[in-house]
Structure 1
Amino acid sequence: MEQKCLLLYAFTTVMQFVTYASYFRGGTISWKPTGNGTEVLFSFKLRWTYGNGPGCDQSRIGQLVTGMNTSYWQCTGGCNGTLNLTNVNYICIGANRTENWEEGENTFIHTFPGIGPFVVEFTQDDWLKNSSIGGWSIGTMVYLANRSDTHLFNRSPITTAKHLYTVQYGCRTTIRIPVMDDDGDTVRCRWSTGSGCGSVCTDLPLATLDSNTCTLSFPANETPNEMYAVKVSVEDFPKLNIKFGSKVYTPKHSLSTVNLLFLVKTISVPGKCSDRPRFTVLTPAQGSTVHTDVMRNFQLSFYITDKRGITKVDISAPSGMTYTSPQTVPSTPGSVFVTTTWIPQRSQVGTHVVCALAENILGKRSEPRCINVIVKDVSPCTNEPCQRNGTCVRNGMTQNYTCQCHSGFTGAHCELGDIISQCVELTFEECIFHRFLLTSV
């Protein structure tokens, strides 16, 4: 009952009709245990109108920007009152003054006093500038009970989206929300529910959401040149019955929930609905997964074609990932490619979603192409640093480890031991020779 109440408190319906420019442009948060008790690593991405966030601009991409020191991610449920966890400052990953947006992401770690459940969220009093629409929040529920299938704590699903989807007025439109789960759970999407719409709350007209594919569909024919805010909840479900803490969870019971907020804008442009940029077969398929190792150079290319010509390709990527401007594909008129390059850091182990969105000279945009990139951890125990058959025990998810040595051996790597202990591993002749060397020093 407590868990359900916390969920109702945290995840509210915000499918709102936008009549004024918004400071906030959306975002999301996810989390995973670090392996060190009840310590949890959170990852978040936020977007604002240009100049109204922490201070991201083109000159600061890749840098930490700190213009929002007094706005916080908070624990608002399960903790002893409301607890400030960290501010919402982030590493700048993109900005455009002309298009009026900035974007960044960051991580933070918090150790909880127990298994929860806990509600972590970032809330503001107003979603829109100069409007009567009520408050908004981006949040997640953290429950650190053991799962009987993995014998580990659960990890939340992961999702992302462009801060703004520009769609052609009058065209039936689908937006597939990229989702992923590191535990291999089933991931579903739903409209957020609750009482948080404020005094004005109207849906994106005739929009439907396929919960199984996380696909948003709508006709985009209500009003030209209007903007809508969308808030969905992304949940993970076990594929089989499992014991989660003290209760049995079936494939119908969600394990955790994360929020995703973004904007949709309808624009009037000429041409048929099907006349838009398209990704070619040289690009990995939508929703496909690629793997890389931490601290290894990684590259991913997107190939796009349009008979009128591509003017730009927007990339939504993790911090530290760089990408080229559109490059012409030799002997293929109207086709370009963009290559991303990244060396994932140790703090970026896990799943990331990289999305590309192309635009032609008419301002018509492609469907987003999103690829899951799984950064694999490299354990310090992989190279077997412990000698004499010692056991390597990793300290959480860090690169530190401890060697558990057999009787008679000591040292950081079990490299020290008395003559008798060392002779256990040697033949009689080797032992005599080894003893001779030691006693001759």
Structure 2
Amino acid sequence: MQALYYLVYIWLGIAIEASHYRGGTFTWKPVSPQVPNQNPVSISFTQRHAWRRGSYFCDQTTINSGGTVGAGSVCCLGSQCGSLGCPLSTAVPCTDFSVSQDMSAGQASSILSLSPNIKVALTFTGGAWISLNSGGGNWAVTTQISTYMRADGHYNTAPTSAMVPVKLLRQGFSYTWLIPTADTDGDIVKCRWASATAVVPTNVIADECAGICGTFPGATLNSSSCMMSYTASSVGFWAVSLMMEDYEFSWQTTSMSAVPLQFIVQVYTSSSTCTIGPSYTGTRPAGACVGVDIGQTVVEQAIFTVGCSGVTLTDVITTSPPGMSRGTVTQSSSNPLEYTMSMTWTPAASAWGSNLVCYTPIDSLGQQGNTQCVTYLVAVTAPELIYTSYVNGTMSPVGTVMSTQNVWRVECTKAVNRPSSVAYIRFYQTSTATQVGVVTGTEFCGPQSRPITDPNFWPFNIFNSAAYANMTGMTTSSTTTIIPNVTTQAVSTTTANPAITTTGITVPSSTTPYTGMQIFVIHLHY
């Protein structure tokens, strides 16, 4: 890491009509991170802003046509500006909207050409926030971009973050929620409160929050886990201003970059006896990492559940990249508490790296669930289990196996890590034979393998009929042993069913990628 940095300030010189802003975030990445000694260094700068929908209208037609929301310009201030001038507009294509929350949000990316071996600060300023219980007035959304090369010989990619523009909390309850972050480089990410007097390289003081510095009293922030806690004791509106910083090594005390996240917290009162808000329940688990090729169309079914009977799901606030479209929220015909919504996206080449897609459900009582995100890692292919046929395929053993069999082998298309899910292989009834993320890749968050839906993927029969009799509810078919109602346990423990093996099932202790592209030891839970 270099010891000396240069700072450039970006200043917005255009006033924004009062009470329209709902928060925003910046992030950035080098266009060619692995090409050394660039001059200039091309940086893809991404900005996301939320506004009052009554001021900047957006609907699905606006999104489909590429219509923009917001106003203003990002301008450069300082001796290092050169000819940069005012290169960026803050009017960005709309990507998300909410009728119930009166919100429009948009995102755009632009290319900046910067000198090597400098840090530049970009600040979007204006006024004003919605009327707040504490602070308010002007805003300053600030980030720092470094064009120094990292110790690994690459240019740094900043973290990304996301949050619903207006987070709803019910008065009288205590809450803890995660600030979603992602870092394509796999760096350590820490969160902190924004500061009006942040000391940056060359001893320049940067204002990161303007009128909303320290204006969320009583809230606590864990810098390592990025968990925020708050007891909603008073009704009203508060603005939150945070900074996410990335560190290549744990011993570093100076971050490589800092990116902002600003949003509003609204505390409301309710007399309803239902205190369980809606939740995101899949199909992808919260925090999942999905590898997506450029130009590959992704169709996801997001599932949500309301907490009480008689309550309906009225809205889902999304945070999504440009080009992603959402379907309508549909109630399940078999479970009135469950709702689904489709999301479709074909990422362009410019979307390479981490892309957060976040869901925040709202029910008919005004209760808002926690924001849950899925990371799409574009231009990274997820590993897959190699399956040709059970005769010439990679699965072993197949056919008839003994009840004492405790080692199972399958090959993968690339090096893999131990998955974060609780077991390596699970057995399901044929009607629910879907397993996501049997293996994960080694890149950043570990892109998960695709679901396995073929009931004949790994055909085998267990020879010992006495073992069958000891396992309540177990049935067999001509190809695959099916065990219904499976539950799993943590990967830190190994529980072997004595009907399957008397020698125990071992789990690799290493968290590093497996050597080669094979999984030799399978962790079974029943």
Please indicate the TM-score interval, normalised by the length of the shorter structure. Answer: 0.7 to 0.9
Distance change in 2, residues 1:57/1:313 (3 Å): closer
Letter in 2 for 1:26: G
2:360 is equivalent to residue 357 of structure 1:
yes
User: For residues 326 and 200 of structure 1, what CA distance do their matches in structure 2 show?
Assistant: 35
Following superposition, the deviation at residue 330 of structure 1 comes to: 4.4
Letter in 2 for 1:234: M
| Structure 2 contact 280–360 (Cα < 8 Å) conserved | no
Following superposition, the deviation at residue 283 of structure 1 comes to: 3.3
Specify the SS of the correspondent of 1:60: helix
| Structure 2 contact 164–317 (Cα < 8 Å) conserved | no
Specify the SS of the correspondent of 1:331: coil
Match of 1:203 in 2: 215
Larger mean Cα displacement after TM superposition, 286-295 or 325-334: 325-334
User: For residues 76 and 208 of structure 1, what CA distance do their matches in structure 2 show?
Assistant: 34
Write the deviation string for residues 365-407 of structure 1: whole angstroms up to 9, x where unpaired. 21111111111169xxxxxxxxxxxxxxxxxxxxxxxxxxxxx
| Structure 1 contact 270–362 (Cα < 8 Å) conserved | no
User: For residues 317 and 213 of structure 1, what CA distance do their matches in structure 2 show?
Assistant: 23
| Structure 1 contact 190–211 (Cα < 8 Å) conserved | yes
Residue segments in structure 2 that go unaligned for 5+ positions in a row: 12-16, 198-206, 382-526
Following superposition, the deviation at residue 82 of structure 1 comes to: 7.5
Match of 2:515 in 1: none
Letter in 1 for 2:332: V
2:279 is equivalent to residue 278 of structure 1:
yes
Q: 2:164 aligns with which of 148, 162, 165?
A: 162
| Structure 2 contact 332–339 (Cα < 8 Å) conserved | yes
Letter in 2 for 1:231: S
Distance change in 2, residues 1:67/1:286 (3 Å): closer
Following superposition, the deviation at residue 213 of structure 1 comes to: 1.4
Following superposition, the deviation at residue 52 of structure 1 comes to: 3.4
Following superposition, the deviation at residue 328 of structure 1 comes to: 2.9
| Structure 1 contact 62–91 (Cα < 8 Å) conserved | no
Q: 1:339 aligns with which of 339, 342, 365?
A: 342
User: For residues 41 and 261 of structure 1, what CA distance do their matches in structure 2 show?
Assistant: 21
Distance change in 2, residues 1:143/1:259 (3 Å): same
Larger mean Cα displacement after TM superposition, 92-101 or 207-216: 92-101
Match of 1:296 in 2: 296
Alignment of 1:30-49 (within 5 A): 30-35=27-32, 37=38, 38-49=41-52
Equivalent pairs, count: 353
Write the deviation string for residues 272-296 of structure 1: whole angstroms up to 9, x where unpaired. 574211333x433322211111100
Distance change in 2, residues 1:6/1:170 (3 Å): farther
Following superposition, the deviation at residue 67 of structure 1 comes to: 6.8
Alignment of 1:216-235 (within 5 A): 216-221=228-233, 223-224=234-235, 226-235=236-245
Distance change in 2, residues 1:273/1:287 (3 Å): farther
Distance change in 2, residues 1:183/1:342 (3 Å): same
Letter in 2 for 1:236: D
Specify the SS of the correspondent of 1:83: coil
Letter in 1 for 2:302: F
Distance change in 2, residues 1:372/1:340 (3 Å): same
Write the deviation string for residues 306-334 of structure 1: whole angstroms up to 9, x where unpaired. 23232222222111111222223342231
Specify the SS of the correspondent of 1:347: helix
Match of 1:117 in 2: 119
User: For residues 128 and 266 of structure 1, what CA distance do their matches in structure 2 show?
Assistant: 14
Match of 2:316 in 1: 313
| Structure 2 contact 51–70 (Cα < 8 Å) conserved | no
| Structure 1 contact 68–87 (Cα < 8 Å) conserved | no
User: For residues 154 and 373 of structure 2, what CA distance do their matches in structure 1 show?
Assistant: 29
User: For residues 132 and 177 of structure 1, what CA distance do their matches in structure 2 show?
Assistant: 22
Following superposition, the deviation at residue 80 of structure 1 comes to: 3.7
| Structure 1 contact 168–267 (Cα < 8 Å) conserved | yes
Larger mean Cα displacement after TM superposition, 269-278 or 369-378: 269-278
| Structure 1 contact 10–140 (Cα < 8 Å) conserved | no
User: What is the TM-score of this pair, normalised by structure 2?
Assistant: 0.61
Match of 2:22 in 1: 25
Distance change in 2, residues 1:66/1:311 (3 Å): closer
Following superposition, the deviation at residue 62 of structure 1 comes to: 3.2
Q: 1:146 aligns with which of 135, 144, 149?
A: 149
Letter in 2 for 1:27: G
Write the deviation string for residues 240-268 of structure 1: whole angstroms up to 9, x where unpaired. 5xxxxxxxxx4332110011111110111
Q: 1:85 aligns with which of 79, 83, 87?
A: 87
| Structure 1 contact 269–364 (Cα < 8 Å) conserved | no
Residue segments in structure 1 that go unaligned for 5+ positions in a row: 12-19, 241-249, 379-441
User: For residues 357 and 300 of structure 2, what CA distance do their matches in structure 1 show?
Assistant: 9
Letter in 1 for 2:365: L
If asked which structure has higher relative contact order (CA below 8 Å, sep 6+), I would say 1
Following superposition, the deviation at residue 94 of structure 1 comes to: 2.5
Match of 1:251 in 2: 252
Specify the SS of the correspondent of 2:244: strand
Distance change in 2, residues 1:165/1:303 (3 Å): same
User: For residues 238 and 81 of structure 1, what CA distance do their matches in structure 2 show?
Assistant: 32
Match of 2:225 in 1: 213
Distance change in 2, residues 1:328/1:128 (3 Å): closer
